[in-house]
Structure formats: structure tokens, C-alpha cells
Structure 1
């Protein structure tokens, strides 16, 4: 709050020095106290609470201090100070005038004296001119002389001691002594101020000369604030010769101009000066000036609340040198990276003399860990160290090249290296170590891919053999029984059975062909999901009837349907053809591998937008090791041509692919001799009711 009051008082005065601000605040406080005193005395006199009533004196105080306040706010500070040269008016009304004096004039000479004397201190503090002290002394002397005349004490004018109720020193002498003291103090203060001003000027001249001769470019900025004290913009106050030479501009174009007007011409957006100078707390930044093709470093110093000195240093040569070194480093690094080997020089005793390796090498090597150490101390096993030492001796003796492969632990994993040792001279060899981990891994992957290809080829061979068998069996039945239909040796009942056999084998052959077509679409990636409305319970009942009819002859297998939602109108949006095909293949698979018991299928809802379908059988089950492979194409638990269960090995693979197209995953839970459960979960869009509530 105090700061706000101070700001409000000094806002209309164009002063920055702390002494000037304190001076203005002091005058305001002095005038305010005077006005408050006058108003208080006037009020007390009006209401009759004052023992010594003097309304004229009270009014004179209010008028004098009021005029001084007006002059201070609207004319000038010096004008307000000069108003107090009229202070002798106050003792006139209170002590001199026969009409208004509150004390007899012959008794109040000292009152007049001590009313005037404090204002010597006022002029000493607030006035910069000795003339004001002299004028006030003259007016005070005349006022005191007039009071002496009015009191009839002129005959005591040249007496040292005066007598009036009490003995006191001649008031003119007292007044003169205080005047002389004030004058001496003023002279002393003025000499001190003059000396300080001279020192300040010399210091400023020295600073200006130093700034002018600085090798770095200097720019002096001032932060201009709005009426709320918020920084609004920057202004350039001055620059030095180095700045003008660096940026090829004259001080005349810069001095006392807004930064936003002149700095764009110099820096052209190379950096945000408002951000760096007004909002950033950093005192160092750098930038590149494209128009001069130069790099600069900038150091900033806040010399006051709103004054900033900014030094610009041309670091172009340093930056160019750094860039050149970076380019050379990169060039040599690239050359080194192009060589996939680590180079070691090892002496005859197996001690490492020097080494070179690329910076990105996985094997992190410190010079202290290698240089001066022997091959027996750097991490090789005892057997490997002995082998390397033997190779070193052999190379030096017979000038041969030896190759060794070994493994090392590198950053928590094993890495494979190939070491080649060649003779350098009679006392040392060159060892080239190459990381062959990638190559070895590639060889392992190639071996694995080869095994997979062989397995796939073997599966396809078995598939072709199986498909040949699967096609011939129904075709032979169809052809054989078709011939028998034309024979007159069989009656109508027998021919009806022949037709049933032909239809059964035809459906089997059609299913086989459909699987082959589905596989072809999957391989060519031409299978498209076509979503439509699917009456789930209708489809499940249709499947139940289809497989129940097929199992009429198998009295030991039962079909069981389990639908969670009993509503016959329960419908969802999905690809009904794919969904039906998946369930057909899973149910058919369950029936195929179940000798007796039941095959249960159905669905349950999960949340509001997922259905889980399942097919559960009490068949032979699947072992844990085969559960991960049953969804592979052409894979069958029994891949022999002659086997207990027919099929191409494509059913589960196709079903899995269909399930994935519908957004799910086919999973199996099985145990040998107990049975299997196949289930999958698919998202669906539930059919909206055609009925809508109107109101």
C-alpha cells in the first residue's frame, strides 16, 4: 500500500533519482501535516474547545498550505517551496496583530522567533538555493523587528539580554545565529553535492569512454512502463562504436527510438528481443544473423529496475571452427564406422599396446581397461587366453594368420566375435576383432527358416496325399453307386439308399471344394466381411437341426444347444455367413473326434456389445504340445495317409481366419481323454427396435 501511495504521489513528476523522489514525498507529507494542523485548529476554534481562539490565524495556515499544495501539484516544486517564504504571516495573526493576537505582544516575541526558526530547516532540506535562506532570513528579521516595534521593545534592540517575565537572549541574535548555522550547513552540503556531482560526471565520462572503446557491441535499453507499471515496450537509449560497426548502423538511427521500430532492421527476426529482455530471466543467449552470416553471443545486465545493458560478442570464427571440427569428427567417425572391426596391437608377451574401435561399438572399452594389460587380465577364460597366446606366438614365428571365434558378455547379453591375428613385426601382432553376432543370428534364423520350410513342405506333401485320398473316396462312392442306380438288379428301396449315399458323399466333396476355395480367398486376401442383420437364435436352431439330422444313425452322440437369450427375435449386425461357417466347422470338428457323449454349442453375452460362442465336445481331446499347432494350415494330429479320422487339416485354420476377420480370436481349452472346448468372442452391433416412443 505504501508503495502505491508513493507511486501515486510521484507519478506526475518526471524524476528518477531516489533523493528527488524522497524530497517530493517529504514536501507532500509536510504540507499534509500543515493542512491537518490548520483544519484541526480551525475546527476546535469553531466549536469552542480552543483555549486561545484565533480564527484568522487558522485560516491563514489553511490558505498558505493549501496554496503550497496547489502549486506543488500543478505548477512546480520550487514554486511550492517559495510559498513558504510567506510563513511570517502566521506569527502576525497569532502573536503580532493587536486585533487577533492570542498573547500580549510584549510577551510573545519568543513565540514569533520559534515559529520562524524551524523553517530554516525546511529551506535547508528542501531548497537547493542559498538565496531562499537569505530571503527568508530577511523577511523573518523584518517580521521580528515589526513585532518588537508593536510590543514597544525597540529600546532593547541593541541589548544582549531581554527581560519579559523571564530573561532571554536578544531574539535578533538568536535568529541570526540559526541563519548562519543554516547557511554554513547549506554551504557544506552544497560543496559535498558539487563534489559528488563532479565525481559522478567523471565516473560517467569514464564509463562512457570505456563503453565507447569496448571491443564488444553495447546497446543500452530502457524498459518503458504503462500507467499501471507494467512493462509495455523497449527503447534504445544509446549504442557504442563496436555495435555500430558490427551491425552496420549509426547511433543516430537508434538513439531514443522504440526497439520494435529499429531492431527489426538490425536483427530481422533472429531472436525475440521482447521475450529475451522483458520476460526471460536468462542473462545469456546466442543467435545467428543470416544477413551478415555471423554468430553472436549476448550477455545482458540489469543496471536498474528499467535499465538494461546488452553486450554483443561476435563468435563467428569460434562457431566456424567448432563446425569445422564437428564436420571433421563426423567424417572420421563415418570412416571408422565403415570398418566393422576392432583393432588391437598386442606384443609378444600378450600385453595390449594400443587399440582402435568405432564409437558405436556395443563393446564399451576404456583405455585404462586395455592398455598395459595382458590377454590373461581382460576377461577371457583361462582356456581362451592360452589359445590366443599360442596363436600370437605361432603368427610371429611362422608369419601366419590365425582365426578364433569366441563369445563375450556385452551389456547383459552374449555377443559373438571373430578374432584374426596377423604378424606386425618381430615383437607384436595386429588383432582384428569383428562382432559376428548378427551374422550368427542370421545363420540361426536361416537354419530355423529352413526347418520351417521343410516342415511346411512336409505338411503340404501330406496335405496333397490326404486331399487325393479325401477326393477319391467320395468320388468312387458317387461313381460306383451311380452305376448301380442304372442296374435293373436292385429294387427301389435299395436304389433309395444308393441315392442317399451319393448325396452324402456329394456333400462331403462339396465341403472339401468349399474349403479349398476358402483357402484360395484367404491366400489372395480377397475375402471381404459383409455385415448384415443376423437372427442368432434362428441360425443356431438351423445348425442344430442340420447336425441332428446328420447324426440320426449315430445313436451314441447327442447334440445340445445352449442359447442364453431365449427371444426368437434376438438379432445382431455381423457377417452371418462367416459366423455360420465358423460354427459349422467347429461342430463338425467336435462330432468327428467324439466317439460317444455329446457335442454342445451355443452362445452367451459379454457386456452390451460382445457375444461369446462356444462348441464343447467329450471327444478324444488335444495334448498341450499340439494345442499351439492345430490352427496351422494343413496340420493334423495324424498326418498319415491311412488314419482313423478323415479331413484336410484346413477347417480350424479357416475358422481361425474367419474369427479374426470378425474381430475375435479362436481359443481352445482341451484335455486328453476328456474333451475340448473351442470358443471365440466377437463384437456386434445390436439391432435397434423399430418401435420408438413418441411421447
Structure 2
């Protein structure tokens, strides 16, 4: 509210100085107060409440105030100040006139004198020609007091310093003269100081103007125009220097006192939002502007020399920007070249702090610049031991100018990765570190080593197999040839010859089994074995196997036990009967081979509702847990010596495992030394038939 009133009072005068605005405001306040005082006194006089009324004096005082206000609102403040010279007229009605004076004329001389005194202070504060006006006012004041003294008939006392009155006042002429002298001296001193200050300001302005004109940088001084509420409404260009005019191809006549909305579109076109920058931006200390039609970059610094003024300095940074753009382009080009190399490049200072890095984008490792740059090698995830080692390598590389190499493992999103770090001296204060992902190489080396070991082991196994197979073949062949000769000899009776024939047949079967295993292995390796599914009556198969192996075990103290969960003769499943039978035979042969006495149990049971589980359990010698992992490898035998207790090629379980996988299962083992073994596998229960119970 007060700001709006202040703006309303000062707006008609187009004043730039805050001091002038305050003087105008003060004049308004004094004249308005005088008007209100006179109006109130007049109203009291008309109402009859005032005993000593002086209507002409009130009217005169009111008229003086109105004339002053009229002059002010007409834009003539000097005229308003000169209305003080009419003040004696009001004093005449109040204190001198025999008809209207509110006091006896002889006693009111001090009132006339003191009523004139404030005029000196008024002129001192508001007059622009205070010395001249003070002299005029002194004359008027002395004449007014002299007239009053003459009307009071006290001219004889004019030369006395103190007047013989009850108040014992100082001579009014002397009092007025003293007041005049004091105010005049103040006015003269003020004028001298003001003149000196104006001279200094002028010299300073000239120096500033000279300095600004000699600036190689462009200078723009604008004024922010405001409304009654001090809200910014527009911009006016107050001053520009030759450098600015040259930069933006304008002349002084175009820019001087020009409206911002008129000149700025020509100067900046659409490259600079000047309204937002000058009128609304709170932080305008520094900004960069690209002026498209000039193809130049400018760095703008702004300051506020006055409340409504903003000075901007324009630096032409086009060359610097071109150099920066060129460097950025070079950096980008070299970064692309570096990213084409499958390595990570780091710049590390001598204290172990990362300064920069280049990494090719990959799924294996993602590095955030904020997590690396500015951080130490002791803070990015290395172990303390590794961090100390890297730090020592950095020092060695700088001091000895050597290339240091370190291999380390790093946890990444997809597991653990192996890296090889090479550290080389870059300068006296930093090194370049090249980290290469060697995970694939390490994995390849490990696999190569494993393959080498497996190849060596396979070679040993094949050597052992060839040695064993030669022994296994010779044994039955010798038996066949030897007992064949004995059958043809007349030295043996029929019973002995029949026993020889049984031996020949038994060894022939053993030889045939070896040959079949080798043929099966050859078919497996050539991928010729395929599952041919058909409906298989499981109980019939199991009974047939039971009969066959019961007959073969008549000579050994082993009890064979069949355990079928479903007794329905029609119970069956769709699978490859041949492969299923071969698997069970291999497992039964294995159980018979390694069981000297006790029991062998085999059979099947349902596993859930969708799989059929077969098992072979024995009370044989058992298998060590370390050997269980390898018994399904080809050519592997628990005892690979050429002279061993148990015969065989070491192919049976490997063939059985492959067949079980073809049927959709996998053979698994539970075993312990001297406690027997249990082999089991399951196949899908497809198109099952003959179920007698609900499978739980």
C-alpha cells in the first residue's frame, strides 16, 4: 500500500534520483498536513467550539496548501516551494490584524517570529536555490516582524537585545537573523559538498565511460521498468559500448534509450530469452549464449549497479568453444577407438585415485562414472591385500618406468570374472591402467587342462581296456578251444564231455556278451540307437528276467527276489521294451557279478502318477562314494588292473545309462562299502494300462 502511494506521488516527475523522490514525497506530506490542519481549524471555528477563531487565517493557510499541492500535481515543485513566501499573509490574520488576531497584537510578536522560523528549515530542505531563497525569505521575515512591531507600537524596543516582557524574549530581529545565519551556513556548506560530490561523480562517470568504451568486451546497461507495485514490465537500454555495437552489428543511435522489445530482437534474434534472463531470473551472474545469425558464442556476466539497473558484459568465446568442441570431438574419436578395443582403460594418479576411464559397453560389467572417478583404489571393491598390491605397482611403474602386471578376480552381476591389469607410467603423477577381461581365456585354459587330463585318463582307460579285453577274450577262447579238443578226445566219458560242452557254451556266451557290448558302444557313439516305443507288458518282462537269472544263479548262494507293485498281468506302459530289458539285464549282471552271497531284489513301483520306477538292489561288495561318480564312464572299472578278481569290459553301466536317458530317465545309485548297492531309474508312465490301485 505504501509503495503504491509512493509510486503515485513520484510518477509525474520522471525522477531518477531517490533523493529527489523523497523530497517530492516530503513536500506532499507537509502540504497535506497543512491543509488538514487548516481545514480542521476552519471546521472548529464554524462549529463554535473555538473561542479564539480566525477564519481568514484558516482560509489563507488552506489556500496556501492547496496552491502548493496544485503546483506539485502540475509538475512544478519549485512553485510549490515558493508558496512559503505567502506565509506572512496567514500570520497577519492570526497575530497582526486588529480585527482578526486571536491574541492582543502587543503580546503576539513572539508568535509571529516563531511562525516564520520553520520557513528557513523548509527552504533548506526543499529549495534547489536555497541561498537565494533564504535571503528573500529573510527579508520577508524581517519586514513581517517589523510591521508587527510597528503595529504593536514597540519600535522603541527594536534595538534592545532582550525585550522587557514577562517572557523575557530575545530580540525577534536578532532571533530571525541567527536562524537565517545558521540555515544559510548549512545551505552553503551543503551546496559546496554537493558540488564537490557532483564533480567527483562526473569525473567517475567519465572514467567509467572511458573505461567501458575501451573495453574489448561488449557492455550493455539496461533499466528494468516497473509498475505501481514494483513488478517488472519491460526493459530499456541505457548504454552500450563500441565493442558491443561491433559484436552485434548495431550503432549507438539504435541502442541509446531504446525499448528492449524493439532492439533485442534485432541484436539477439531467437538465440537469447532476454525477458526471462533480465526480468525473472534470480541467478544471472553467468550464462552462455549462442547467437545463431552471427555464429558466435558469448559468455555473459551480469551485475546490478543500481536497484533497477543491470549491467552485462559479453565475452566472445567462439574460439574457445571451437577449441573445446574440437577437443571433445577428438576425445570422442579416441574414446570410440579405445572402446573398439576389448579392454578397460583407467587413468590413476600416484595416490591411487581414479581420474578417468574408458570402457566398452558390455553385459558382463557395467561401471558408473560416479562410482569410479574421484574414488581411490581402496574404495572401489578390491580386497585390502589387492588394493595394497595395486598401489605398490603404481609406485613402481612411476618410479622405475616399468610395466606391472596383475591378475585378479572381480565379482560382477553374472558371477565372477577374471581380469589382467597392466599398469604403465603416463607421467610423473599418474599411470594408465589397462584391464583386460581374461575370463574366457582362463575358462578355455581350465577346460583345456581338464580335456587334457580327460584325454590322458581316457588313453589310460583305453589302454587298460585293450589290455583287459585281450585278457577277457583270451580266457573264454582258451576255454572254448581247450575244452573243444577235450570233447573230441576218446579219453573222457559222456558225462565229462557234457560238462565240457556246458563250459564251452558258458564261455561262448561270455564272449558274445563282450562282442555285443562293443557293438552297442559303437552304435551309441555313431548315434544309431533310437528308442522305438510300443506297449510293453511290464510284469511279463519282469517274470521272464526272474526265470532267466534264477536258472543262472543255481550254482551260487544267492537268493533272487522279484518285487512288483502291481500284480495285474495286463499291467504295462508304452516304451522301448528292448532298451528297458537291456538296462535291467546290465543292472542284474552287475549285481550278480559283485554279489558273492545274500540276496538280489529287483522290481518296480509307481513314482507319483506319471513315472514308473525300476530298481535292482543287492547285498554285494558295495561301491566307494568316490567311485560312484565314475562308474558310468566308458571303460571305467573299479579295478583296472589286468589281473583282477572281477571280469568284464567296464561298458555295461555306461551302456545302461545311455539307454535309460533315451527312455527319459537316469540311473542313480545308493551304495556303501560291504553293505550292497541299489540302482534305480524311472521312465514316463505313458499310456499305462492295467492299474489295480490308485497311485498316491
User: Structure 1-normalised TM-score?
Assistant: 0.55
Q: CA deviation at 1:263?
A: 1.8
In 2: Cα distance, 1:285 partner to 1:343 partner: 34
The residue that corresponds to 2:52 in the other structure is 52
Question: CA offset at residue 380 of structure 1?
Answer: 12
**SS at structure 1 position matched to 2:417:** strand
DSSP 3-state at the match of 2:266: helix
Residue in 2 aligned with 1:501? none
Partners of 1:178 and 1:366 in 2: how far apart? 76
Offset, 1:307:
0.5
Match of 1:544 in 2: none
Preserved CA contact (<8 Å) 1:219 1:240 = yes
CA distance in 1, matches of 2:116, 2:262: 56
Give the match's secondary structure for 2:287: strand
CA deviation digits over 1:349-398, x for unaligned, max 9? xxxxxx9997216598999969xxxxx974899xxxxxxxxxxxxxxxxx
Q: Report the count of equivalent residues.
A: 438
* Aligned ranges 1:599-610 → 2 under 5 Å: none
1:646 is matched with: 687
Are the counterparts in 2 of residues 336 and 358 from structure 1 also a CA contact under 8 Å? Answer: no
> Once the two structures are superposed, what CA deviation does each residue of 1:216-245 show, in whole Å capped at 9, x if it has no partner?
110011112234432122121111122122
Task: Tell me if the contact between 2:217 and 2:244 (Cα under 8 Å) persists in the aligned partners.
Answer: yes
Asked whether the equivalents of residues 300 and 311 of structure 1 are also in contact (C-alpha less than 8 Å), the reply is yes
Superposed CA deviations along residues 18-46 of structure 1, whole A, max 9, x for unmatched, are 21122112111211221222122222222
**8 Å Cα contact 1:620/1:673 also seen in 2:** no
- 1:288 is matched with 290
- Once residues 91 and 622 of structure 1 are traced to their aligned partners in structure 2, the CA distance between those partners, rounded to angstroms, is 128
Confirm or deny that 1:621 pairs with 2:599. Answer: no
* Superposed counterparts of 1:24-63, under 5 Å: 24-63=24-63
Alignment partners' CA distance in 1, 2:22 and 2:291: 45
Describe the shift of the 1:2–1:369 C-alpha distance in structure 2 as closer, same or farther (beyond 3 A): closer
Say if 1:107 and 1:165, in contact at 8 Å, map to a contact too.
Answer: no
Paired residue for 2:164?
163
Q: In structure 2, how many angstroms separate the alpha carbons of the residues matched to 1:368 and 1:168?
A: 91
**What is aligned with 2:358?**
359
8 Å CA contact 1:407–1:414 kept in 2: the answer is no
What SS does structure 1 have at the residue aligned with 2:270?
A: coil
Q: In structure 2, how many angstroms separate the alpha carbons of the residues matched to 1:249 and 1:269?
A: 17
Contact 1:405 1:416 (C-alpha < 8 Å) held by counterparts: no
Is 1:317 the counterpart of 2:319 in the alignment? yes
Equivalents in 2 of 1:94, 1:168: separation in Å? 20
- Is 2:314 the partner of 1:327? no
Q: Cα distance, 1:138 vs. partner?
A: 1.6
Larger radius of gyration: 2
Stretches of structure 1 that go unaligned for 5 or more consecutive residues are 345-354, 371-375, 382-403, 421-430, 445-456, 471-617, 626-634, 648-671, 676-695
Note if contact 1:286-1:295 (Cα within 8 Å) is conserved in structure 2: yes
Contact 1:235–1:258, Cα closer than 8 Å, also in 2: yes
- 1:7 equivalent to 2:48? Answer no
Q: Distance in 1 between matches of 2:247 and 2:256?
A: 16
1:197 & 1:225 partners in 2: Cα distance?
A: 27
Query: Structure 1 residues 465 and 178 mapped into 2: Cα distance closer, same or farther (>3 Å)?
Result: same
Cross-structure match for 2:100:
100
- 1:199 alignment counterpart: 200
Deviation at 1:86, TM superposition (A): 0.2
Q: 1 CA distance for matches of 2:23 and 2:3?
A: 16
C-alpha separation between the residues in 1 aligned to 2:54 and 2:218?
A: 69
Bigger shift: residues 332-341 or 174-183: 332-341
Deviations 1:277-315 (A, max 9, x none): 111122211022233332211011122222110110111
5+ residue gaps, structure 2, are 347-353, 379-383, 390-404, 423-432, 447-523, 536-605, 614-661, 667-680
Q: 1:243 to 1:365 in 2, by over 3 A?
A: closer
- Cα deviation 1:164-216 (Å, max 9, x = unaligned): 44543332222222222222221111111111111111111111112111221
2:230 is aligned to 229
For residue 303 of structure 2, the aligned residue among 301, 304, 309 is 301
Determine the structure 2 residue equivalent to 1:415. 417
C-alpha contact 1:343 1:356 (8 A) present in aligned 2: no
Change (3 A) 1:461 1:158: farther
CA distance in 2, matches of 1:369, 1:161: 98
